[in-house]
Structure 1
Amino acid sequence: MSKKEAFITHLAEGQKYKKDSIILGTGILEGQPINRAQVRVPLKTMNRHGLIAGATGTGKTKTLQVIAEQLALKGVPSVLMDLKGDLSGLAKPGELNDFIKNRSEVIGVEYVPMGLPVELMSISEEKGVKLKATVSEFGPVLISQILELNATQQGVIAVVFRYCDLNHLPLLDLKDLKRVLQFVTNEGKEVIKKEFGQVSSASVNTIMRKIIELEQQGANRFFGEKSFEVDDFVQTQDGKGKISVIRLTDVQSKPKLFSTFMLSLLSEIYETFPEQGDDDQPKLCLFIDEAHLVFSNASKDLLEKIEAIVKLIRSKGVGVYFCTQTPTDVHDSILGQLGLKVQHALRAFTAKDRKAITKTAENYPESEFYEVSETLTSMGIGEALVTALNEKGIPTPLAHTLVRAPISRMDILESSEIDELVNGSQLVAKYNEDMDRESAFELLEEKMNRVEKEQEKAVLPGPKPRTASRTPKEESLLEELSKNTMVRQLGRTIFRELTRGILGSFTRRR
């Protein structure tokens, strides 16, 4: 048997799938693509997470685009975090040329240009569906992790959330959180001390500064209502999975805001989606581009939360895919959870680069057909080393792969095309109405003003003698704030029917 035939047989034996799969490309041997050596990934294991890595300009974003396209054609929706603004073109058909035609023929696939159902979204000023979440929905644990608080400061946040839960004070945005923090060290100091113990004003001041830092990165636009329902990510159109592109081009310089949003999204999906187990295909796939922004500034506690969610969310039928320059950008504990690995070329310009390449090569199975460390530096644009999990959870043979071309546009949408897409969105009409209903800030302000007026009235001279009943000053402020505070609840913030999940965020009874 020739080396070529042995290579084809080797790949075929490792990819004997009974269920449906997507074709990623074709294998390359000794620099030449082999047209009978297709590299396929089974849909059944797409909830086992993955990594798409490679140096700038090697084609990793287009590989992400290809995988999202193929999932959509199989009816699987996906969420793409687009930090470079490269992925809006998924909504429009690609263009067939000789290069793409020849590549498709070699791979053994038909190239049919096609636009896919796309929903543009944003957590900032970008056009699209506005994604928001309330402070209450985050919960004390996630808020503390995002603000990188110490144990004492975390205790203060826990007291604030507990007090607001007991007294029906909705924490919707950061303005609410700051107002309650002011309350626990000023007007409500004695009340809080009586019910929960002494709260340090120094701790509160530190938390306030950290909230202001988060606000300066634009978090005030993200926290609030109307809260996004993650079930709206799981939509199909004409049998194709909808691709939700979250436009984050103005968030690259705001890593804390990005990690805040990413962690809240993963937590919300985990808490909301029902258990699915190992189905024939995933319910949703989430792609995190420029993933190093999540990990580079993350604390140990935050990394532990991300690791916990990645481990647990698989059972919900959700696959998480990290797209970054080198595998070392992803924490080792998370890297070990990833099933699909797509490694584009790396550059070896320095001694540090060469060490990174050696370390990267150790993350992949050994192959009798390649010297992995050499292949990593010699691959061209649109080529990658690929290994996945077969239907039994066993890693497939490592394949130097010529990746197929995207069927949608490789360039971005024009401004007029973005406007057309946004204006035709049903979700824009659902979520883009600004809301600022009565919440903790307004309720506390109203109560404080009322107490002050009653105190002023109590000291004014009058014809009637004072009775022996308690004055407003003597009455417990906790009782005062607890009276008649049944606030009209909207949307998903139904305080009496909420319990805290394992990550401290709200679990909703549906």
Structure 2
Amino acid sequence: MAEDESLFLGASRKPDDSYQRAETLLLRYANRHGLVTGATGTGKTVTLQILAESFSNAGVPVFCADIKGDLSGIAAIGEAKDFLVKRAGQVKLDPYEFQEFPVIFWDLFGEKGHPIRATISEMGPLLLSRLMNLSDAQEGVMNIAFRIADEEGLLLLDLKDLQAMLAHIADRADEIGRKYGNVSKASVGAIQRSLLVLEQQGGEHFFGEPALRIEDLMRTTRDGRGAINVLAADKLMMNPRLYATFLLWLMSELFEALPEIGDPDRPRLVFFFDEAHLLFDEAPKILIDRVEQVVRLIRSKGVGVYFVTQNPLDVPETVLAQLGNRIQHALRAYTPREQKAVRASAETFRPNPDFYCADAITQLGVGEALVSTLEAKGVPSMVQRTLIRPPSSRLGPLTEPERQKIQAVSPVAGQYDKPIDRESAFEMLEKKAAEAARAEEEARENEDAAPADAGRGRTRWTLPDFDGGGEKRDRDDDDDDLEEDYRRRRSSRTRSAPRKRTSNRQTVAEAAIKSVVRSVGSSLGRALVRGVLGSLKRGG
């Protein structure tokens, strides 16, 4: 049951163990985030379900990850089982009405819901680099790849686009290095290996088009109820890097896309991260930093973030400090770590003089919880031992035919189900490589044919006609004519009378006579020159 200003969570005990005081969550403080914790089997997933129902009835869209598959029952009307009816009477939930809720199923693998996709460009080089724990040098190469893709109009949409782009810059390493800095093949290889890990975990399903529009997570029905977006995450949790990638992208998109609206009367969207300990276990630092940033700043954009986990110690302290609304189910205290968790959880609540909080945490029954929410002016309420109200929808998962029926009438049916693989970097680079290979093959063929055509060419020069044939021949006609002229001239010399060949050898006497003649001629010539010059001078 959702009221105009608050959500009914359950009823708290009085000192005589009767349940009377209603525990609520004020809608205007629901964007201050929250935490639902408890050991396995204590009822925290049911608490998530009743919170999602209440937000939906209040007109607030919800996004939640369904880790075990049992949250899907929120799309079906509940059944009046005895223990549920009894619980409704204990917490004074009157009337207790059963209903089904408007649900949109999503699945990164496209098996149990509509696919969720994002493009490589939307993720960006910085988030991708930090997500894959790349070194500074490798991050620099990633930035260069995105920069050149922008300059050359190469779209980066899916993993094969990025892989092809990295191979492209590796081939042009010398050219690119002169402008942007060193691009080593070792760095490119390391990035390719990280992308391979992401691909093997299912990254090829997540990166691509059509990309999810954030508005589709914020739909409401015609009767004013908020859509409950359920992400099938049972298979996704087996691929922690892909799960971290998705959450990192989604938080970044929300943070960047939504405008600032201050403190609204009710949230615009509420996120539930079930089994949050799986999110933070060995999570990349960039993810933890981004979650902390979102939790601190996204409140003013009207988004509430609620973590559902087994132990409050599973959530980093920097994030835990930002969670104002808390619901603590039973914890076990068998090990030193569990005892520490109990004390840590108890110390986060505003004390209640009626009971000792640390003892109560270990004594809570199934469906009971310690509840503290923000009251007027954002002050935490005194912690109360509360019996959580029963859900209005079905407890347990949907059948496969029921799920498919809901998907068929989904408001986004047909929008994301079929992938689109338009021409992008992979195809464009493949086309360029094919064109370059053809050009190289043609050049090689021309080079092989060059000896047979040696000397061939066309010029604008003309040659005289020595054959008396009339017009002068233009060299442009055909250079083969040169060969014909050469053969004709050789033929004419062959047909003419042969010349008498004489010997060039001289006798000793002939050589002496020629030497004397040259000597006499030279002396006589010099005497004549001197005589002529002397007469000219005297005459002058």
| 2:241 corresponds to 1:256 | yes
Q: Distance in 2 between matches of 1:126 and 1:49?
A: 31
Deviates more, 1:119-128 or 1:336-345: 119-128
| 2:41 corresponds to 1:57 | yes
Alignment deviations for residues 21-61 of structure 1 (CA, whole Å, 9 cap, x no partner):
001001124572422x0001100011111111100000000
Q: Is the 8 A contact 2:325 2:373 kept in 1?
A: yes
Alignment deviations for residues 199-238 of structure 1 (CA, whole Å, 9 cap, x no partner):
1211111111111111111111111111010101111112
Q: Is the 8 A contact 1:44 1:391 kept in 2?
A: no
| 2:173 corresponds to 1:189 | yes
| 2:321 corresponds to 1:329 | no
Higher helix content, 1 or 2: 2
* Equivalent residue in structure 1 for 2:131, among 143, 146, 149: 146
| 2:96 corresponds to 1:111 | yes
Give structure 1 stretches of 5+ with no counterpart: 1-17, 467-510
Alignment deviations for residues 239-296 of structure 1 (CA, whole Å, 9 cap, x no partner):
1111010111112221111111111111111111222210100000011111112111
The alpha carbon displacement at 1:96 in A equals 1.6
Aligned position for 1:269: 254
Aligned position for 1:6: none
Alignment deviations for residues 470-490 of structure 1 (CA, whole Å, 9 cap, x no partner):
xxxxxxxxxxxxxxxxxxxxx
* Mapping 1:142-181, distance limit 5 Å: 142-181=127-166
| 2:224 corresponds to 1:231 | no
The alpha carbon displacement at 1:458 in A equals 3.8
Aligned position for 2:51: 67
* Mapping 1:367-386, distance limit 5 Å: 367-386=352-371
| 2:191 corresponds to 1:207 | yes
The alpha carbon displacement at 1:465 in A equals 6.7
Q: Is the 8 A contact 1:148 1:299 kept in 2?
A: yes
* Equivalent residue in structure 2 for 1:135, among 110, 120, 127: 120
Q: Is the 8 A contact 1:134 1:172 kept in 2?
A: yes
- The normalised TM-score by structure 1 is 0.85
Give structure 2 stretches of 5+ with no counterpart: 459-540
Query: 3-state DSSP class of the match of 2:182?
Result: coil
Q: Distance in 1 between matches of 2:316 and 2:229?
A: 26
Query: 3-state DSSP class of the match of 1:224?
Result: coil
Q: Distance in 2 between matches of 1:20 and 1:229?
A: 29
Q: 1:297 is matched by which residue type in structure 2?
A: E
Aligned position for 2:492: none
Q: 1:105 is matched by which residue type in structure 2?
A: G
The alpha carbon displacement at 1:195 in A equals 2.3
* Equivalent residue in structure 2 for 1:218, among 170, 178, 202: 202
- % identical equivalent positions: 42
The alpha carbon displacement at 1:106 in A equals 2.5
Q: 2:52 is matched by which residue type in structure 1?
A: A
Q: Distance in 1 between matches of 2:323 and 2:16?
A: 28
Query: 3-state DSSP class of the match of 1:129?
Result: coil
Q: 2:316 is matched by which residue type in structure 1?
A: H
Q: 1:79 is matched by which residue type in structure 2?
A: F
Aligned position for 2:182: 198
Q: Distance in 2 between matches of 1:284 and 1:410?
A: 24
Aligned position for 1:12: none
Aligned position for 1:364: 349
| 2:421 corresponds to 1:436 | yes
Q: Is the 8 A contact 1:33 1:402 kept in 2?
A: no
Q: Distance in 2 between matches of 1:465 and 1:277?
A: 79
Tell which structure's C-alpha radius of gyration is larger.
Answer: 2
CA 1:413–1:31: 2 relative to 1, 3 Å: farther
Q: 1:284 is matched by which residue type in structure 2?
A: L
Q: Distance in 1 between matches of 2:15 and 2:77?
A: 33
Q: Distance in 1 between matches of 2:457 and 2:386?
A: 92
Query: 3-state DSSP class of the match of 2:419?
Result: coil
Query: 3-state DSSP class of the match of 1:430?
Result: coil
Query: 3-state DSSP class of the match of 1:218?
Result: helix
| 2:70 corresponds to 1:94 | no
* Equivalent residue in structure 1 for 2:401, among 416, 425, 437: 416
Aligned position for 1:479: none
Q: Is the 8 A contact 1:130 1:428 kept in 2?
A: no
RMSD, matched Cα: 1.9
The alpha carbon displacement at 1:414 in A equals 1.0
Q: Distance in 2 between matches of 1:231 and 1:143?
A: 24
Aligned position for 1:48: 32
Query: 3-state DSSP class of the match of 1:431?
Result: coil
Q: Distance in 2 between matches of 1:245 and 1:375?
A: 33
Q: Is the 8 A contact 1:230 1:268 kept in 2?
A: yes
